[in-house]
Amino acid sequence: MDKDSVILKHIQNKADDCEENLEEIRAQNSKNAKRLSELDDKLEKIHRLLGTERKPFIYEVRNEAGSSFKSANTEPKSYEELFQEASESLAARGIDIDTLDYHGLVTEEELRRITDSLNRPLERKLKWSKNDFIVVFIAASIGSLVDCILSDRENKFTGKGSQFAEWLDEFHQHDGGGPIDYQGPGFGGGYHRGLSKGHDIMRFIEAIIMFKTGRFEGIRYVDGVAHKVVSTVNQYGTPYEQLGWIEAIAKYAQHMFADLFSSCSLPFPGSSLLVECGNRDMRIFAATMYHQGFNIKNIMIQSISTIMVEIIMRIYFGIDEMKRYGESVEIQEDYSNFEALGRFIRSTGKEKLHEMLLLAHAVVAAVNVGKVVITKKPWEINITEIISVIRYAVPVLSDAIDRHSGYAKLIRNADEINANWEALAIEFSVDRLQLEFKEDALTI
C-alpha cells in the first residue's frame, strides 16, 4: 500500500471540497453584498429624513456561537494519524486504498502539463531587443565590407604596390641570411620562405637550432622522391656561423620580425608540413596559397574586419550595460560612476554578448566563404573570422547546454516550488478573518 498516495489523495479531495465550498461562499457573498447595498441605501434615506448624522459601518463575521470567526488552531498530527484519517475519509468515499497509487492523483492530461512545465527551458538572463539586431546587422555589414576590400591582395589600400605595403617593407632589414634563408637548388626564388621549415613559426625550435648549429635542413622532392638536404654553407659557398643559444634566439627573432613585414611576409603556420608531405597536390596547394598572398601579414591586415566587429559590438554592449545599471539604481545619490565604468569594461551579460558576437562574425564569415567559393580564390579566406566563429560558438553552445540541463531545471523548479510555498504560508498566516458590520445592535 502506498501510504503517501493515500494521504495525498485525501488532501486532494479536501482541496476539491474547499474549492466547491468557496464557490458557494462567493455566490452567497454576492447575494449578501447586494442585500447590504440595498440596506445601505435605505439607511441613507432614513438618516436623511430624520436629519441625523450617520455613523460609520463596522463589518464583522460571526459564527453560530456569536463570536468572531477564527481559523482553527489544531495540533499537528503525526504521519500515522494523518494516514488513518485519510484512509477513513477515502473509504467513506468508496475509494479502495489498497489499489491507490500516484497515478490516481492526476489525469494523463494534468501529468503532461506538469511534465511540460517542469521540462521547459530556462530563459536567458538578458533577452534580445530590436536595437540588438540592428547593431549586429550594422557590425556585420561593416565587417563584410572591410573583408571584401582587404581580402583582395591587389587592393589599393594595403595590396602590392600600395604606399602602406611599401612602408611596411622598410622594416625588412636584417644582417644577411641565416641558415633558414638558404637558396640553393630547389630552395631559391622570391618565395623561398615557403619551401622549407625555417620560416614556419610553428616549427620555431627547429629554426633556432639551425641558427645555433649553422646548418640548413630541408626536404626536396625530385621525381616524386623526397631527399633530405643539409648544408652548412649558403648558395654562394659562404659558411654559416655557429651561435650560442641566446644569440641564436635573438637572431631568429630579429630575422622573423623583419621578414614578417616584407612583401612576401611569412607563410601560414604549419604550411611547411604540407610542403614536405608526400602528396604532390598538397605541395602544389601550399605553394599556390603562399604565392597568391596567403601569408601572415595579409592575414593580420584582413583581421581588421574582425577587429571592427569586436569594437562595435563591445562598445554598444558596454553602453547598454551602463544604461541597465542606471535604471537599476533607484536613488540618484546611489549612482556610482566607478561602478558604471566597471560595468562598461566588464559586462555582466556575457551570454548575450557572446550570442551577438557569434551572429555578427558568422555573417561576415559566411559572406567571405561565399566570395571564396564564387571567385575560386581560397587564399582570400578570412582565417580570423573563422576562428572567431569557433571561439564564440563554444561558450554559446556550452551556455545553451547548461541552460537546458536537467540540473539547471531541477534548481529552477525547486526555487519556484519554494517560492510558491512561501507565498501560501504568507497568504494563510492570518489568525483572524473578520468582516464586521455593525449599526447599533445590528450584527450579520
Percent of the chain with pLDDT over 70: 88
CA pair distance 147, 402, nearest whole angstrom: 34
Burial class (CB in 10 A: 0-12, 13-18, 19+), 266: buried
Domain final residue, candidates 263, 291, 319: 291
Q: Which of 177, 176, 155 is nearest to 164 (CA)?
A: 155
337 and 222 belong to one structural domain: no
Q: Which amino acid is at 397?
A: L
284 and 178 belong to one structural domain: yes
Look up residue 380 and give its three cell numbers: 582570400
Average pLDDT over residues 25-40: 82
**Angle at the Cα of 224 from the Cα atoms of 218 and 228, rounded to 5 degrees:** 20
390 and 420 belong to one structural domain: no
Highest mean pLDDT among 14-18, 339-343, 344-348: 14-18
CA pair distance 212, 179, nearest whole angstrom: 9
Residue 70 inside a domain? The answer is: yes
Beta-strand ranges (E) seen in 194-265 are 216-222, 225-231
Report phi then psi at 345, rounded to 5.
Answer: -80, -45
7 and 110 belong to one structural domain: yes
Residues 6+ positions from 136 with CB-CB distance below 8 Å = 313, 356, 359, 360, 363
The total number of structural domains that make up the chain: 3
Residue 46 inside a domain? The answer is: yes
User: In this predicted model, what pLDDT tens digit does every residue of 376-427 receive, in sequence order?
Assistant: 999 999 999 999 999 999 999 998 888 888 888 888 888 888 888 888 777 6
Residue 12 inside a domain? The answer is: yes
The domain of 278 spans 163-291
214 and 308 belong to one structural domain: no
Burial 201-224 (b: 16+ CB within 10 A, else e): bebbeebbbbbbebbbbbbbeeee
222 and 276 belong to one structural domain: yes
205 and 249 belong to one structural domain: yes
Whether the per-residue pLDDT at 438 is higher than 70: the answer is no
CA pair distance 221, 420, nearest whole angstrom: 76
Look up residue 274 and give its three cell numbers: 604540407
Residue 79 inside a domain? The answer is: yes
283 pLDDT tier (thresholds 50, 70, 90):
very high
Whether the per-residue pLDDT at 435 is higher than 50: the answer is no
CA pair distance 195, 218, nearest whole angstrom: 8
Q: Pick the more confident residue, 152 or 13.
A: 152
169 and 259 belong to one structural domain: yes
Determine the straight-line distance between the first and last CA of the chain, rounded to whole angstroms.
Answer: 48
382 and 328 belong to one structural domain: yes
User: In this predicted model, what pLDDT tens digit does every residue of 388-402 receive, in sequence order?
Assistant: 999 999 999 998 888
- Give this prediction's pTM: 0.70
Q: Side by side, which strands form the sheet with 442-443?
A: 58-60, 436-439, 442-443
Residue 297 inside a domain? The answer is: no
Task: Identify the pLDDT of residue 407.
Answer: 84
Residue 156 inside a domain? The answer is: no
Residue 296 inside a domain? The answer is: no
Q: Which of 86, 107, 95 is nearest to 15 (CA)?
A: 86
384 and 312 belong to one structural domain: yes
Task: Identify the pLDDT of residue 355.
Answer: 94
Q: Which of 297, 328, 9 is nearest to 158 (CA)?
A: 297
Average pLDDT over residues 217-239: 93
182 and 286 belong to one structural domain: yes
CA pair distance 378, 365, nearest whole angstrom: 13
Whether the per-residue pLDDT at 63 is higher than 80: the answer is no
Whether the per-residue pLDDT at 74 is higher than 70: the answer is no
> What is the 8-class DSSP label of residue 347?
-
Domain final residue, candidates 243, 263, 291: 291
137 and 176 belong to one structural domain: no
Domain final residue, candidates 266, 291, 316: 291
Lowest-confidence region among 58-72, 291-305, 355-369, 415-429: 58-72
